[in-house]
Each structure stands twice: as structure tokens, then as C-alpha cells.
A and B are shown apart, each in its own frame.
Chain A
Amino acid sequence: MKTLTIDCPDHLHEQLARLVEAGWFKAPEEGVLEALRRYLSGHSVELQEQQIMADVEWGLHGRD
């Protein structure tokens, strides 16, 4: 486990605080981790390469 220290812009911190207050997370740190997990799952190298290979097929052999 690593410890990261970050500067969080006020508007993001306020949104995070609202989510904590509403009970979505126990603490802001938990919200940051969840956001990071979701970001990484949507931006994985494997996903990008899979999409590009589909694009290569379209680029080479598509009809439009």
C-alpha cells in the first residue's frame, strides 16, 4: 500500500464532501480511490488496443 498526497481543487473537494455527507463514502479518500478505480477501468491499455484493432480492420477493409 502506497500513500499519495494530492492537491485537490476546491470544486472537486466540495463535490466529494457532498458525496461523503450523503453517505456514498466513509471518507473523501475512499471517494478518490473509487474514482481512480473507475477511471483506470475505462482507460486500460487493453481496451484501447482492442478498439484500435477493430479500427484497423475498418480502416483497411470497411465499406464506409
Chain B
Amino acid sequence: MTAASRAEVAVVACAELFRGDGEIVASPMALIPAIGARLARLTFEPDLLLSDGEAYLLDTEGRVEGWQPFKKVLDVVVPHGKRHVVMGASQLDRFGNQNISAIGEHAHPKRQLLGVRGAPGNTVNNRTSYWVPRHGTRVFTPAVDVVSGVGHDNAAKAGQAATRFHDLHRVVTDLAVLDFSGPEHTMRLVSVHPGVSVADVVERTGFELDTSAVTSTRLPDHDELRLIREVLDPAGSREREVAA
């Protein structure tokens, strides 16, 4: 079997996001985290529940195993922390504040984005991770324009209603894995993907990163590579989400 591609390393890093989650709903909002969630379920997280993003819970082969329309999600799942959402981010700062609303001033934006969607509720109600397919200074900015998903500093300022279930887990990118265990819950570089240096990540991050204890992102094992290539994504769509 040929060596793992960057996209396949990212899939496994996304699968690792769900390690230890148990029987909760995984809500990955992009392809690579979705393959990662299914890989986690097929290997080390067999109880993980997979949503189709609309109304069904599916097994890894796409068979329906539950009915969960979004009103049920809002009533039953989100307010009880029974979910791990992996969102994208147009901007993300060192405290984990995320912007998916607008670039520039909200009333007169330079770039109108798709909107805050579930981010305000997700981030204060259940575990949240981020997936950034192109790690760069446009995304990793010193300050975001419109806080849509809540970071650690803003959660602390807002008090108990925000901090009670606030649980920013990790950020996976095409270059690295990061978490929020730096000083004052700021972003820390956890690991760099094979072929990526710490300097590469620092250069493409627009704020100071804690790089005191960086390891290498683990490679997919033989069984994981087989599952990714033959079962979960035989068409190779993952390679279009991340540059090789």
C-alpha cells in the first residue's frame, strides 16, 4: 500500500477528534471530518452516532438507523452536550473565536459570508472542533470580525451561561493539529503533519502560537488506510479538499 497522503493524515487527525466521545452525535460539516467520523466509528469509537446533516442517523454504510430532524436536535441533543460538532471557520483567533458571518463591518461587509448558522448555540452547548483545509494567515487572524462561535476569552467574559458547557476541543488543518492548552486557553501547536515543519505553521499563523511541545501527527495504520481507500472514500474525493 502506498504511503498516506496529506488528506489521509488529516482524515485520521479528524477521526482522533472523536476519541473517547462515546454515544453522542458527530456533526462534521465538511468531507474530511465526515470521513474521519466514520473512520472513528469503524475503529475505536463504535458507539458514535453519525448524522446525514438533514434528518437521519446513518451507519457507516449509509443505512438509516435513526430519525433525527433538526428540531429534535435542538430540543434533545444540543442542550444536553450530546454532540461533537466540527465546523469550518473563515477566521479563527488564538482564543478560538470563529467568524462565519461577514468579513469587515457587519452592516457593510467587504465580504458577506454564509451566516452564523448553528455556531452561537453549538459553541456554548456542546463540544466543538474546527477543520481548516487551508492553513493560512487569512484564517488564523489576531482578531475575528464577527464572533460567531465563542472562544475562551469571550466565554469567560460572558459568564456561566457561556462557560457551563463551553468545550473547544481542537483545530485540525491541512498542516497541523492544534488545541487550546496554551497560556490562558490560547492556541497551542499539538502536532505537525509529516513533511510540515513547525516554522511552516508559525509562518502561516497570524498570531503567536505556543510551540513548546510539538509532536508529529500520527500516520494512518494499515487498516485505517484500507478503510479510507476501499470503504469510506473509494472515489478519492478527500484529495480535492486538501492539496497534496
A in complex with B: no
Residues of B with Cβ closer than 8 Å to A? none
